Amino acid sequence: MIDALFGSKTRVKLLHLFLNNPGKAFYVREITRLIDEQINSVRRELSNMMNVGIITSQTDDNKLYYEVNQRYEYYVPLRAIFADEQVETKAAAVHATATKSWADGFEGLPGLRLAVAAGVLVRGSASAVDVLIVGDVPVAKLKAAVKVAEKAEGRELNYTTMPYEEFYYRWSVRDKFVTEIINGKHTVLVDTDKLLTK
């Protein structure tokens, strides 16, 4: 039945393979062995999936590798359908406000002065950065907080850190990188100095 819904059994097998292995890349012959389908059928479906944007490709050692695009708009709902383990999904309203459960983990970080959610965490955001962290935060504690957020979201997150002085300078001179995040759709998670929430 799911084959009929998604067009072909090859596509269903590919979705199952990619969505159960986020962050892992496969080359065509490896894929045909893993899902036990004909190479022409696999190539056709890979092309279709590339056009939709659910997978990306890159060349390495003269081989073309494919992997799931974790920034694809419907990545989380598709993963909930095809992943072997149960994946938590979030309502759009909760997602848009940056999910309180893991956002609390950022509030307690020592040295944190500003945390902004954008990118895949905020509906309508075009930012390539999902979390901007400003302050002198211990690396291990930051990585732990990001890992909790990634688990809650079901995908890898792109985050950037910078010292407060650098952020303040770049913001004051209207630096392109900083203003794209702040002027675009975003959610302020922490702002100890009320810099963005005045």
- Residue 123, pLDDT > 90, answer no
pLDDT in tens, 131-163: 999 999 999 988 988 888 888 887 888 899 999
Q: Return the pLDDT at 166.
A: 92
Residue 165: which H helix or E strand, with range?
helix 164-172
Q: 131-135 and 159-162: which strand pairing?
A: parallel
Neighbours of 139 (CB within 10 A): 8
**Residues in Cβ contact with 173 at an 8 Å cutoff, skipping those fewer than 6 apart:** none
- What is the pLDDT confidence band of residue 2, given thresholds at 50, 70 and 90? low
pLDDT in tens, 82-109: 877 655 444 344 444 445 567 777 888 8
Residue holding tokens 């938590």?
88
Average pLDDT over residues 167-182: 90
